[in-house]
Structure 1
Amino acid sequence: MAKDKSPRRPRAETPKGFRDYFGADVTERKAMLDTIAEVYHRYGFDPLETSAVETVEALGKFLPDVDRPNAGVFGWQDEDGDWLALRYDMTAPLARVAAQFRNDLPSPYRRYAMGPVWRNEKPGPGRFRQFYQCDADTVGASSVAADAEICAMLSDALEAVGIERGDYIVRVNNRKVLNGVMEVAGVLDPADPERFEEERGIVLRAIDKLDRLGEAGVRLLMGEGRKDESGDFTKGAGLTEAQADVVMGFMSAKRENGPATVARLRELVAGSATGIEGVEELETIAELLAAQGYGPDRIEIDPSVVRGLGYYTGPVFEAELTFEILDEKGRKRSFGSVAGGGRYDDLVKRFTGQTVPGTGVSIGVDRLLAALRAKGRAGGDSAGPVVVTVMDRERMADYQAMVGELRRAGIRAEVYLGNPKNFGNQLKYADKRHSPVAVIQGGDEAAKGTIILKDLILGARIAEGASLEEWKARPAQVEVPRSELVAAVRQMLEQG
């Protein structure tokens, strides 16, 4: 008789599109977010933590089909038949909170939120299904002073975490200006917004491809269409040369300074009330920022910012890091965008039926952390704890007393809790933990009332290639009185 097969063991692997975060990844991210939170707090914003789970109805653009919600979210049906989903961003939960607690919250309501979000999308290189977002929003303020404040706060946050002035720029545009350009170009009818919707979509997508296709490629998409190198043909918007000139003029409207850029935009949108309103809002934002000392070296008017075309209703902004890095092929390129946002005045309306103005920004946490590592502001080996080794299992209380003293003095420390039989394994453990110092006390040292401090920083430096000559004045280990444990360890740590 055949034996029953033993149960299949589960595979020890991270689900596709997800990843695990260890030691330094977690601590560096927390330190960065704590610094950003300090800036947001200084601006008067309050923290908000919402549930990781929202109703699919509250999320808005994802609605359940016959079997399950749209593939963009991780959703399921509960026992009551309601569809629930993991949040896919921080903004939809904010809209729900602003509507649900509108009688309790101050207006305007200023909040920041940090945490993971989930996207049920196909993963790829650098594209995960779970990632962190860091958002700040003001709900209930129609004044563009709120937009200017968000831009100033974003600038301060970047500098606070270690992105130096000159290595970033916050670019500001206005969706109303773009709508005005579309109106002048004849692809937007204010009396019938749905008219020319297909042509307008082609134009907007073409604008977004300027960096990749260049002016010639974009102009082809404005007209009859474009055939790429593979022979595939992309249908164009069918604009005349004159219409295309208006749009192309918008894309090249940036001048040597903000006032000149605004003047050029005013020329382009002449005849469009919406466009003129957008230009005036940009002027106001620039004036408010200048009054606070935020010049074009930090924040500038830039018509090329066209993010979130179907989402934003007014000012839009984007933070770009301008320093160069090497890509996977060793080529130099600018680091690129790490944050973006803008004004959205229709989000809360879904819940209340009333227009509630809002503006906000979202920082790409992983991208900003990668930028700090590229600048040497993060990513170094995280210092591990001081390790108190165990030479005599029967004297564990003595070792625990040592580690207690170190911790009370604010020094990160631990007792080795593995098998103490092999002392070499204890030092290997300390090395793997990136420990700076090992504390040793055997029977002889205990009898004399001393301890030995082994300098593991020194060993690591020599292993990295530092010459012995360079470090010969520094002993590999010292023996000190037991009563001087804390002072001696602190001195060794300070020597670094």
Structure 2
Amino acid sequence: MAEKPKKPQKLRARLPRGLTDRGPAEIAATRAMVETIREVYERYGFEPVETPAFEYTDALGKFLPDQDRPNEGVFSLQDDDEQWISLRYDLTAPLARYVAENFDALPKPYRSYRFGWVFRNEKPGPGRFRQFMQFDADTVGSGSPAADAEMCMMAADTMEALGIPRGSYVVKVNNRKVLDGVLEAIGLGGDENAGRRLTVLRAIDKSDKFPPEEIKKLLGPGRWDGGEEGKGDFTKGAMLGDDQIELILRATSPSFIAGRFNADGSGGVSNADTVELLRSTADNETLKQGCDELSVISDLLDSGGYGATSTNPNVRVVIDPSVVRGLEYYTGPVYEVELLLETKDEKGRPVRFGSVGGGGRYDGLVSRFRGEPVPATGFSIGVSRLQAALTMIGKLGTRPATGPVVVTVFDRERLADYQKMVSQLRAEDIRAELYLGNPKNMGNQLKYADKRNSPCVIIQGSDEKNDPDGPQVIVKDLILGAELAALDKDRDDYLQRQADAQRKVPQLGMIDEVRRILARHDIDWN
């Protein structure tokens, strides 16, 4: 007897770790966010540009986000001409390539913005995705600290445009030259110490995640994730001595600045006072340059009403020595936007959102392609992270975007009539669709319209088509119908509103009736 053929194995639908699907509500919220950010950036004079998701791997250079992965933290493949290309890990490195390639044709300074997905080949975890969206703005061709101050001001304006009130966020700014000066003072200057300096930067950059004792381990012999030797993954430290570690912690700790600001930025010493305190950390030219640049930024922030002064207690931008940024390519001022709001997650646990954006000066990135100095500075918003925060605090809606008006099919022999109604609605800029499923059951058609989040449906049976007064249609307001379902049916307003939830009108008046329903619920698709 012949063996029965084996049934083919059914493919299991599964999503790779570190990635997520997005539905209509999330997409609509992203669209609203991006449009708000775009308006602020354009108000500052920035213009759009797009770069592709793939770049030659050498264009991304050595400035990669996670170098303990086998392929350096980026997703890479070999092209048919045997050259390696990689998915972009941020939007800054591709911009540097674009500017270098089009340098002579672009105005300088060149001010541009762009948004899109970036990709990190890193170990996924809570809030750590391998694909996420960023929105960047950059000024290339200006070495003035005014360009850095402007980025901080624009970051503050963007937060407020998104509905985050003043005092519920803070933009923190520092200068990498300050930390570089401290590193020089403890003997970590020069190219031979570049690796250890990067380890120090990444350790300090984790100050918002780990307590000082854990940061000391990262600056010293290293740290086990499990808390004890042999438990969890091991992160190699910078192998610094105790005195070196103490000086770095003192120079990068917010507590180093006596009388720091309150959580909302109020009170405390001014930004100018903070700069002067930083000058006392070490005595070398690098640190002096960093403090001089911060002093210019402080003056510009104060003149614009963004800084910390005795007459402006509710500060928007604070000079904070703990901000260092982990990427190697920053060469001067660096900044971060932190949300100070606290809320609770779905399990009732307190959540502090922390940093939702950042950036800094990267004067060496474009220069790699040009062989000449090209100053640049930029700011990036983590759209995906900020969207999660705004949604949690109720600044973005979770309801799916309003769907189209659904024209139902009462008589399958009259599809052309129903399609004509759909075309008439679309011609008036009203989103509409013809029900394309099995029209046998009208109840199923209405359920479909509910799932599509439709504001109303159009129904026309033979009675309405052949009405003695001319063709009629029934327009059913689904939003009002849902509200009525929750009301006490004995109430007087129930009967009054029920008549408004479903009306028979002349077919020639269909457009006006639909518009009346859209206006009632303040629906505008534009």
Structure 1 position 292, deviation (Å): 2.7
Look up the SS of the partner of 1:194 in the other structure: helix
| Corresponding residue for residue 256 of structure 2 | 253
Q: Does 1:266 align with 2:279?
A: yes
Say whether the 8 Å CA contact 2:55–2:87 is kept in structure 1: yes
The letter for the 2-side match of 1:479 is K
What does 1:68-147 align with in structure 2 at a 5 Å threshold? Answer: 70=71, 72-147=73-148
Matches of 1:273 and 1:301 in 2, distance apart?
20
Look up the SS of the partner of 1:148 in the other structure: helix
The letter for the 2-side match of 1:492 is I
Say whether the 8 Å CA contact 2:343–2:393 is kept in structure 1: no
Matches of 2:307 and 2:191 in 1, distance apart?
36
Which region of structure 1 is more displaced relative to structure 2, 100-109 or 158-167?
158-167
Cα gap change, 1:367/1:462 in structure 2, threshold over 3 Å: closer, same or farther?
Answer: farther
What does 1:43-442 align with in structure 2 at a 5 Å threshold? Answer: 43-61=44-62, 70=71, 72-184=73-185, 186-189=186-189, 192-195=190-193, 198=196, 200=197, 203-215=200-212, 218=215, 230-232=227-229, 237-241=239-243, 244-245=246-247, 247-251=249-253, 252-254=255-257, 255=260, 256=268, 257-269=270-282, 271-296=283-308, 297-308=315-326, 310-327=328-345, 329-378=347-396, 379-442=398-461
Cα gap change, 1:239/1:437 in structure 2, threshold over 3 Å: closer, same or farther?
Answer: same
Look up the SS of the partner of 1:411 in the other structure: coil
Structure 1 position 80, deviation (Å): 1.9
Structure 1 position 147, deviation (Å): 0.9
- Residues 90-122 of structure 1 deviation map (CA, whole Å, 9 limit, x = unaligned): 112111112111122222222211112222333
Cα gap change, 1:113/1:206 in structure 2, threshold over 3 Å: closer, same or farther?
Answer: closer
Which region of structure 1 is more displaced relative to structure 2, 49-58 or 242-251?
242-251
Matches of 1:226 and 1:129 in 2, distance apart?
24
Give the count of matched residue pairs. Answer: 486
The letter for the 2-side match of 1:112 is Y
Look up the SS of the partner of 2:256 in the other structure: coil
Matches of 1:346 and 1:195 in 2, distance apart?
18
Which region of structure 1 is more displaced relative to structure 2, 444-453 or 313-322?
444-453
Structure 1 position 172, deviation (Å): 0.8
% identical equivalent positions: 53
Say whether the 8 Å CA contact 1:458–1:471 is kept in structure 2: no
Say whether the 8 Å CA contact 1:338–1:368 is kept in structure 2: yes
Matches of 1:345 and 1:422 in 2, distance apart?
66
Cα gap change, 1:195/1:302 in structure 2, threshold over 3 Å: closer, same or farther?
Answer: same
- Residues 285-343 of structure 1 deviation map (CA, whole Å, 9 limit, x = unaligned): 12223333324432221112121252211000101111112135422232211111001
Look up the SS of the partner of 1:103 in the other structure: helix
Look up the SS of the partner of 2:280 in the other structure: helix
Say whether the 8 Å CA contact 1:324–1:332 is kept in structure 2: yes
Say whether the 8 Å CA contact 2:204–2:252 is kept in structure 1: no
Q: How much is the aligned-residue C-alpha RMSD, in angstroms? A: 3.0
- Residues 218-254 of structure 1 deviation map (CA, whole Å, 9 limit, x = unaligned): 5677678889984339868554558725742541233
Say whether the 8 Å CA contact 1:384–1:434 is kept in structure 2: yes
The letter for the 2-side match of 1:322 is L
Matches of 2:33 and 2:194 in 1, distance apart?
45
Which region of structure 1 is more displaced relative to structure 2, 368-377 or 222-231?
222-231
The letter for the 1-side match of 2:278 is L
Say whether the 8 Å CA contact 1:202–1:237 is kept in structure 2: no
Matches of 2:487 and 2:421 in 1, distance apart?
32
Say whether the 8 Å CA contact 2:145–2:293 is kept in structure 1: yes
Which region of structure 1 is more displaced relative to structure 2, 395-404 or 89-98?
395-404
| Corresponding residue for residue 450 of structure 1 | 472
Say whether the 8 Å CA contact 1:181–1:247 is kept in structure 2: no
Cα gap change, 1:308/1:228 in structure 2, threshold over 3 Å: closer, same or farther?
Answer: closer
Matches of 2:222 and 2:418 in 1, distance apart?
76
**TM-score (normalizing by structure 1):** 0.88
- Residues 142-165 of structure 1 deviation map (CA, whole Å, 9 limit, x = unaligned): 111111121222222222233232
The letter for the 2-side match of 1:474 is R
Cα gap change, 1:441/1:6 in structure 2, threshold over 3 Å: closer, same or farther?
Answer: same
Structure 1 position 76, deviation (Å): 1.9
Where does structure 1 lack aligned partners over 5 or more consecutive residues? none
Matches of 1:132 and 1:117 in 2, distance apart?
6
Say whether the 8 Å CA contact 1:62–1:70 is kept in structure 2: no
Cα gap change, 1:240/1:280 in structure 2, threshold over 3 Å: closer, same or farther?
Answer: same
Say whether the 8 Å CA contact 1:453–1:478 is kept in structure 2: yes
Query: Which residue of 502, 507, 515 maps to 1:477?
Result: 502
